[in-house]
Amino acid sequence: MPQHKSCEKRMRTSAKARIRNRSYRGQMKRAIRSVREAGNKEEAQTNLKKAMVVLDSLAGKGIIHKNRAADKKSRLNAFVQAMPS
């Protein structure tokens, strides 16, 4: 247990942030999964646009690094482009 008031507050805020960040990461995973499990290319492209918005917003909030977001967007885009029409 922490001995200082500032440490107690830091534990509280860290716990809140951890819960919030887990929610954001789940949102990111659902967006990526919707692209990968799309039935056809058109559906995948619409889901890709939504996933890119999610990834950009998470990178802007600092949940994930901006280079990680860029890498995920690039890989998803390559996946969609490789899909048969």
Q: Alpha-carbon Rg of the chain, whole angstroms?
A: 17
Digit-coded pLDDT (tens) for 13-68: 999 999 999 999 999 999 999 999 998 999 999 999 999 999 999 999 999 999 99
Per DSSP, the three-state class of 4 is coil
What is the pTM for the complete model shown? 0.85
Please give the pLDDT value at position 85. Answer: 79
5-82 CATH fold: Methane Monooxygenase Hydroxylase; Chain G, domain 1 (1.20.58)
Domain boundaries in the chain?
5-82
| N-to-C CA span, the chain | 58
Residues with Cβ < 8 Å from 77, sequence gap 6 or more? 48
